[in-house]
Chain A
Amino acid sequence: MKFLKATAAVVTAAALVGGMSVVAQAAPKASGTITYGLWDSNQKAGYVACAAGFKKATGVTVKVEQIGWDDYWTKVNAGFVSGKGYDVFTSHLAFFPEFAAKKQILPLNSYIKRDKVVVDATYQPGLAALWRDPKGVQYGLPKDFDTIAVFYNKQLTDAAGVSAKTMSSLTWNPTDGGTYEKTIAHLTVDKNGKRGDEAGFDKTKVATYGIWMEGSGGGDGQTQWSFLAASNGWKVNDGPWNNNFHYDSPKLAATIKWWHSLSEKGYMPTFAQQNGVGWSDQLAAGKVAMATNGSWMTGSVFGAKSDKFTPALAPTPVGPTGKRASMYNGLADNIYKGTKNPEAAWQWVKYLGSAACQDVIASKAVVFPAIPSSTKKAVAAFTKKGIDVNPFYVHITGKTTFLFPIGDKKSQRNDIINPVMDSIMSGKSDVSALVEMNTKVKALFK
């Protein structure tokens, strides 16, 4: 068995070296067992089903392991160091540039060329490019995507007389907050039953917050402020891998200033108060009317339905640009460079990126697969479960997405950005601190 594996590795290596000259070479047969890691427990069943389909198609066994987000990345990193990591693992745009820079993940170009895989046209527009470095090296095939929407508790909006129609047509601007702020204020209730927009509202004794803060959002504010800043015409940089950051823009400053003002007005917990049990538990407990977050949380939030919580979704508000906006992020699978079985690993990645697997994922109604036909199936599957996911999907049909700020030196950037953002959201610094922060971030690339 060991001998066979070694032979396979040699053959694959030869194929890799010779791949460029030998045109239209058939894919070698893969065999053996590989390991696959993911962090989202809601998605495990789908990928176990995909692994069964893959076994039938190729004879390769895939062992699927799921562990929670924090431990997951520790394990992935420890796997690189020890050489005993997952053969294939679910990767994230925030981390893969560093993995690539450290040469821990396998470039897929020669495989893609050999097997004639159509990359860009297969997936929702723009997704595949996220997994390509500036030199054109592809590291993953998109498997799903996510956008942002407002999760809210319908019991609380009903009690406040806010209709679903109002929720889905909110507008926002950084000056007075628009109908978005008006609604948030109206949904906030103090201990005496006074609403946030009523006279005599006591902001020191809030019983139900209008909206929940989920930390300061760091440098991307994916679920916190990015959709507001972008609808105000702000861009984090000049495109993927670009180092000309715009954290010093007045458009961002105005957005963050407004966002922080919500906690000063008592409509949102302060930074210190939100430090504790997470937003989804707060929402499910009926102590918060709404919270903005990503589509990957849909299954979990709707699963928390109770006599205190009737989950519902609304799209993010329309901003000064006249459009909504949502960060567009997607996952893909990376292959560990030290895998003993690169051929099987690649074929698994190819399978995960194909409609065969993505249709299975779609049927589980947990995330949106990256292939457009599979996305539609997922929307249908969600609808069948009684969940209207259009607030997420509206960004795809309306082309109002913007890309996750992908780039190098993420952890060094975080070291600079996170304390400043935390400090602004705690009211210890003014938004003017963003200017100096931007200078420091840009200096990392000089």
Chain B
Amino acid sequence: MAKQAVARKPARRSDFLTAIPFVLPALIGLTIFVLIPGIRGVYLAFTSYDVFTDPIFIGIDNFVKMFQDELFWNALAVTSEYVAINIGIQTVVSLFIAVLLHRFTRSTLIRGIVLMPYLISNVIVALVWYWLLDYNLGLVNSVIDFLGLSKFTFFSDMTAMPTIALINVWRHMGYTALLIFAGLQAIPEDVYAAASVDGAGEWRTFRSITLPLLRPVLAFVLVITITGSFQIFDTVAVTTGGGPINATRVFSLWIADKAWGDFNFGYASAISVFLMVLLSIIAFAQTKLLRASESDLER
């Protein structure tokens, strides 16, 4: 640590000047597409705005209305349900696939196959599963019926959210597995060799070596996937469209409804701001709790 601080000191000023041209392109994009709309969105959250007339400043009215809106609590509940099922299952399955890939195969072909669902467009995945899982015409229920079991309604108000969460587990598990797999490859072989010499089995090796050394990568993967998961939109929009009743009216869909359906852009911005704050808190908490910036690999 001390050595780094000494080395950095004289270089600081010239670094800044050199950095500008490198940062500039990204900075322009960030300013135009993230900062300006972001700040404007925060401003709009405190206004009544229907796009056609100028925004009217109304203070925190939108937020007061939001916390009293039963659809807000509904959105929070169903989105959380989605995230819990999606992330919970996806992380376990991906970790399992990644460890399998790491321990038992060197084949690029298999790694490619694992990634395949992710290469298909979200909308197509959603549409195909919607057909496959249809109560009356779907292949899945035909098989269930053939086996003599009673058919299952995959898109009822009780099952629609879990079904959609699992469709996205199917699509994303390979991609997440590859991210974790990259982390596994960073773990030195000699640690495993040492464990093997000490007589550790697969489970013990996984629990005492793989998992602790994978922690920073897992933390990164969780921050990315949870943030992405909270923003679920396309699969719901293509399949249930928020129904039955409001069982799948997740945040993003609700925001789009309010903005483009009701032209209530002020209110929609307020909900978006809430979602942004919520995600920031979650991401920050995760990074802290999982100590994502530190690694146990330093020796």
Which residues of A come within 8 Å of B, CB atoms? 74, 77-78, 80-81, 98, 102-104, 204-205, 209, 269-277, 281-282, 285, 287-288, 411-412, 419, 422-423, 426, 428
Q: Is B29 an interface residue (CB 8 A)?
A: no
Q: A276-B134, A276-B138 are in contact. Are A411 and B261 (CB under 8 A)?
A: yes
Q: Is B51 an interface residue (CB 8 A)?
A: yes
Contact indicator A285/B137 (Cβ below 8 Å): yes
Main secondary structure of the interface of B (DSSP, over half): loop
What A residues does B240 contact at CB under 8 A? 275
What A residues does B244 contact at CB under 8 A? 271-272, 275, 422, 426
Q: A272-B244, A276-B135, A412-B262 are in contact. Are A104 and B153 (CB under 8 A)?
A: no
Count chain A CB atoms within 10 A of each CB in B133, B150, B153 and give the residue with the most.
B153
Contact indicator B245/A287 (Cβ below 8 Å): no
Binds A, one of B109-117, B154-162, B179-187, B227-235: B154-162
Output the nearest chain B residue to A209 by Cβ-Cβ distance: B136
Contact indicator A77/B260 (Cβ below 8 Å): yes
Contact indicator A277/B134 (Cβ below 8 Å): yes
What B residues does A103 contact at CB under 8 A? 52
What A residues does B46 contact at CB under 8 A? none
Tell me the smallest distance from the CB of B128 to a CB of chain A, in Å.
Answer: 12
What B residues does A77 contact at CB under 8 A? 260, 263
Output the nearest chain A residue to B249 by Cβ-Cβ distance: A419
Tell me the smallest distance from the CB of B31 to a CB of chain A, in Å.
Answer: 21
Q: Which 3 A-B pairs have the closest CB atoms?
A: A272-B156, A276-B134, A272-B153
CA distance A423 to B157 in the complex (A): 10
Contact indicator A81/B245 (Cβ below 8 Å): no
Contact indicator A102/B52 (Cβ below 8 Å): yes
Tell me the smallest distance from the CB of B67 to a CB of chain A, in Å.
Answer: 18
Q: A80-B52, A102-B263, A412-B262 are in contact. Are A275 and B160 (CB under 8 A)?
A: yes
Tell me the smallest distance from the CB of B216 to a CB of chain A, in Å.
Answer: 41
Q: A419 is contacted by which of B50, B246, B260 (Cβ under 8 Å)? A: B246
What B residues does A104 contact at CB under 8 A? 52
Tell me the smallest distance from the CB of B158 to a CB of chain A, in Å.
Answer: 8
CA distance A419 to B38 in the complex (A): 33
Q: Is B251 an interface residue (CB 8 A)?
A: no
What B residues does A423 contact at CB under 8 A? 245
Interface readout for B135-157 with A: 1 if CB under 8 Å, 0 if not? Answer: 11110000000000010011111
19 residue pairs A–B, Cβ–Cβ below 8 Å: A74-B260, A77-B260, A81-B51, A271-B156, A271-B244, A272-B244, A273-B135, A273-B136, A274-B135, A275-B156, A275-B243, A275-B244, A276-B135, A277-B136, A277-B137, A412-B262, A422-B243, A422-B245, A426-B157
Q: Is B206 an interface residue (CB 8 A)?
A: no
What B residues does A411 contact at CB under 8 A? 261-262
Q: Is B130 an interface residue (CB 8 A)?
A: yes
Output the nearest chain A residue to B159 by Cβ-Cβ distance: A272
CA distance A338 to B268 in the complex (A): 25
Tell me the smallest distance from the CB of A155 to a CB of chain B, in Å.
Answer: 17
Contact indicator A273/B153 (Cβ below 8 Å): yes
What A residues does B136 contact at CB under 8 A? 209, 269, 273, 276-277, 282, 285, 287-288
Q: Which residues B210-251 have CB closer than 8 A to chain A?
A: 240, 243-246
What B residues does A419 contact at CB under 8 A? 245-246
CA distance A273 to B135 in the complex (A): 6
Output the nearest chain A residue to B260 by Cβ-Cβ distance: A77
CA distance A102 to B262 in the complex (A): 11
What A residues does B130 contact at CB under 8 A? 276-277
Known pairs A285-B137, A287-B137 / 20 extra A-B pairs, C-beta < 8 Å: A77-B263, A80-B52, A98-B263, A102-B50, A102-B52, A271-B244, A272-B135, A272-B153, A275-B135, A275-B153, A275-B156, A275-B243, A276-B138, A276-B155, A277-B130, A281-B137, A287-B136, A411-B262, A422-B243, A422-B244
Contact indicator B52/A272 (Cβ below 8 Å): no
Q: A102-B263, A277-B136, A282-B137 are in contact. Are A204 and B150 (CB under 8 A)?
A: yes
CA distance A308 to B114 in the complex (A): 39
Output the nearest chain A residue to B138 by Cβ-Cβ distance: A276
Q: Is B131 an interface residue (CB 8 A)?
A: yes
Tell me the smallest distance from the CB of A278 to a CB of chain B, in Å.
Answer: 10
Interface readout for B29-59 with A: 1 if CB under 8 Å, 0 if not? Answer: 0000000000000000000001110000000
Output the nearest chain A residue to B136 by Cβ-Cβ distance: A287
What B residues does A277 contact at CB under 8 A? 130-131, 134, 136-138
Count chain A CB atoms within 10 A of each CB in B137, B154, B246 and give the residue with the most.
B137
CA distance A287 to B136 in the complex (A): 7
What B residues does A273 contact at CB under 8 A? 135-136, 153, 156
What A residues does B245 contact at CB under 8 A? 419, 422-423, 426, 428
CA distance A411 to B50 in the complex (A): 14
What A residues does B261 contact at CB under 8 A? 411
Interface readout for B55-97 with A: 1 if CB under 8 Å, 0 if not? Answer: 0000000000000000000000000000000000000000000
Contact indicator A80/B262 (Cβ below 8 Å): no
Tell me the smallest distance from the CB of B163 to a CB of chain A, in Å.
Answer: 10
What A residues does B154 contact at CB under 8 A? 276
Tell me the smallest distance from the CB of B121 to a CB of chain A, in Å.
Answer: 15
What B residues does A281 contact at CB under 8 A? 137
Contact indicator B135/A269 (Cβ below 8 Å): yes
What A residues does B243 contact at CB under 8 A? 275, 422
What A residues does B138 contact at CB under 8 A? 276-277
What A residues does B263 contact at CB under 8 A? 77, 98, 102
Tell me the smallest distance from the CB of A101 to a CB of chain B, in Å.
Answer: 10
Q: A74-B260, A412-B262, A419-B245 are in contact. Are A272 and B155 (CB under 8 A)?
A: yes
What A residues does B155 contact at CB under 8 A? 272, 275-276
CA distance A419 to B70 in the complex (A): 12
Contact indicator A78/B157 (Cβ below 8 Å): no
